[in-house]
Amino acid sequence: MTSSLHDLAIAFEQSLWKTKLSHRSKSFWYPYRTLNHVQDLEKLASTAGLDLLELCRGPYGKVADIGSADGDLAFFLERQGLSVDVIDNEYTNFSHLEGLRVLKAALNASVVIKSIDLDSQFSLAGEKYDAVFFLGTLYHLKNPFYVLESLARITKYCFVSTRIAKQTADGQSLSRYPLAYLLAPQECNNDDTNFWIFSDHGLRRLIDRTGWNLLSYISMGDTTNSTPADPERDERAFCLLEKRPPFLSASPNPVPGGEGLGKTTVSWDTADGTIGRIFVSVNGGAEALFSDGRRGSAVADWIEAGNNYEFRLYNSDHTELLAKASVTGTLGDG
């Protein structure tokens, strides 16, 4: 009988603890179980009609584990044949990345460790991943919008887990509104790296605004009366996100002609917050700049009957075609 991925993860976790304790005392290591959530990741993928490992085996041949603690998940994924980058901040990591480095050497692993402060205006330009695992980290960030939007530029899929809350400690409802609760420095687990606890609606709004489609969503813990800080009323949301594709359209299309020139409204959205540039080619000729911006619309009021216009949305430096739309002008009323 073939073992499930969860079974493999638990077996690996037990073996990994033996390795950990042979190198450092128990107090040195991150105290929470990471690999226990592999079953939740599998559930998110299957709910979306996907296979967890297969979605990780895309065209870029690489995944990332962000906010990785001791790297348990990263080392497990590597054992499943994946190439893995670990992205964490050595100044806020539980062992300042020493645990990761100890395990990498002990396991003779190829995981690449990158120390990056996600609360800086960081850049992963040039990096592309098939999937990113971003578990238990979002509420530790000062700038969650910036980070999620940045991740939408470098990966197709993203697994996210974070703490959420349905009400404040004194019973005020959060769940109906797109809100985030800002913790006091020692309010939650006496940990001043805890910042934003979103309501369910707030998390979904954040996901939408940063360029993602929500494929599947589960919550666990206190799903009735959760609060931002009480350890007995902790609720966690697990999400599978897919990068929203860039969008370009023209309406009306075809463009009805009359006595003069016709017009159409071109609308676009790069989806990930980057600047896009829209060019137009007439009858296969040279491109001319039409408009630019992250998202918007502009009127082309010079459409001639019998001509074909191709509008093309590029990235800011005109090196990647993101989307296109062909527009034709017609004779008569339509």
Q: What's the pLDDT at 333?
A: 52
Backbone φ and ψ for 173, nearest 5 degrees, come out as -70, 135
DSSP string for residues in 110-155: -PEEEE--TTS----TT--EEEEEEES-GGG-S-HHHHHHHHTTTE
Q: Are 256 and 328 in contact (CB under 8 A)?
A: no
What one-character DSSP code corresponds to residue 245? P
Q: What is the pLDDT of residue 122?
A: 83
Sheet containing 247-251, strands listed edge to edge, beginning at the edge strand earlier in sequence: 247-251, 262-269, 295-303
Neighbours of 30 (CB within 10 A): 17
**Which residue has tokens 């002609």?**
257
Locus of tokens 């093309």: 312
Distance CA 222, CA 167 (A): 11
Domains identified in the chain and CATH numbers? 5-243 (3.40.50.150), 247-328 (2.60.40.10)
Q: How confident is the prediction along the chain (334 residues), in pLDDT tens digits per residue?
A: 557 899 999 999 999 999 999 999 999 999 999 999 999 999 999 999 999 999 999 999 999 999 999 999 999 999 999 999 999 999 999 999 999 999 999 999 999 999 999 988 888 878 999 999 999 999 999 999 999 999 999 999 999 999 999 999 999 999 889 999 999 999 998 899 999 999 999 999 999 999 999 999 999 999 999 999 999 999 999 999 999 999 999 999 999 877 779 999 999 999 999 999 999 999 999 999 999 999 999 999 999 999 999 999 999 999 999 999 999 988 765 4
Residue 334: predicted pLDDT: 41
Q: DSSP states of 271-311 as a string? A: SSS--EEEEEEETT--EEEEEEESEEEEEEEEEPTT-EEEE
Segment (H or E) for 43:
helix 38-47
Nearby residues of 46 by Cβ (< 8 Å), 6 or more positions away = 52
Structure tokens at 211: 């360029």
Predicted local distance difference test score (pLDDT) of residue 213:
97
Model-level pTM?
Answer: 0.91
Per the listing, tokens 């979605």 go with 55
Helix axes 5-23, 98-107, angle to 10 degrees: 100
* Residue of 91, 96, 92, 158 whose CA lies nearest to 124: 158
The Cα–Cα gap between 178 and 27 comes to 39
